[in-house]
Chains A and B, each alone.
Chain A
Amino acid sequence: MCLAIPARVVEKLDGEQAAVDLGGIRKTISTALVPEAQVGDYVIVHVGYALGLLDPEEARQTLAMFAQWQAMGDAQGAP
Chain B
Amino acid sequence: MKYVDEFRDGQLARRIAAAIHDEVGERHYHFMEFCGGHTHAISRYGVQDLLPPNVHMVHGPGCPVCVLPIGRIDQAIRLALERGAIVCAYGDTLRVPASDGLSLAKAKARGGDIRMVYSAADALAVARAHPEREVVFFAIGFETTTPPTALVILEAQREGLPNFSVLCCHVLTPAAITHILQSPEVREFGTVPLDGFIGPAHVSIVIGTEPYEHFSEEYRKPVVIAGFEPLDVMQAILMLVRQVNEGRAQVENEFTRAVTREGNQRAQGIVSQVFELRAQFEWRGLGTVPYSALQIRERFAAFDAERRFGLTYRPVPDNKACECGAILRGVKRPTDCKIFGTVCTPEHPVGSCMVSSEGACAAHYTYGRFRDIPIVHAGAGVEENVS
| A/B: CB atoms within 8 Å of each other | yes
Identify the A interface with B (CB < 8 A): 1-6, 8, 22-23, 30, 32-35, 42, 44, 46-49, 51-56, 58-59, 61-63, 65-67, 69-70, 72-73, 76-79
A58–B258 Cα distance when bound, in Å, is 8
* Distance to closest chain A CB from B153 (angstroms): 12
| Distance of A48 Cα from B258 Cα, bound (Å) | 17
CB B146 to nearest CB in A, in angstroms, measures 9
Let me know if B12 and A33 touch, CB within 8 A. Answer: no
Beyond A2-B203, A46-B144, is A30–B151 a contact (Cβ under 8 Å)? yes
Instruction: Determine whether B351 belongs to the interface, using a CB cutoff of 8 Å to chain A.
Output: no
CB–CB B18/A73 < 8 A: yes
Partner-binding segment picked from B116-124, B285-293, B364-372, B375-383: B116-124
Residues of B within 8 A of A54 (CB): 3, 257-258
A16 and chain B: residue at smallest CB distance: B151
Taking beta carbons and an 8 Å cutoff, which residues of B are in contact with A? 1-4, 6-7, 9, 11-12, 14-19, 21-22, 35-38, 62-64, 90, 118-122, 141-145, 147-148, 151, 200-203, 205-206, 227-228, 231-232, 235, 254, 256-259, 264, 266-267, 270
A58 cross-chain contacts in B, Cβ below 8 A: 256-258
Q: Is B17 within 8 A of A33, CB to CB?
A: no
**Which A residues lie within 8 Å of B201 (CB)?**
2, 4
- Minimum CB–CB distance from B209 to chain A (whole Å) comes to 13
In the assembled complex, the CB of A25 is this many whole angstroms from the nearest CB of chain B, namely 10
Chain A interface mostly: mixed
CB<8 Å pairs between A and B, sample of 28: A1-B37, A1-B64, A1-B144, A1-B203, A2-B201, A4-B228, A30-B121, A33-B147, A33-B151, A33-B266, A33-B270, A34-B266, A35-B266, A46-B145, A47-B145, A51-B205, A52-B206, A52-B258, A54-B3, A54-B257, A55-B257, A56-B257, A58-B257, A70-B15, A72-B15, A77-B18, A78-B18, A79-B21
CB distance from A13 to the nearest CB of B (A): 14
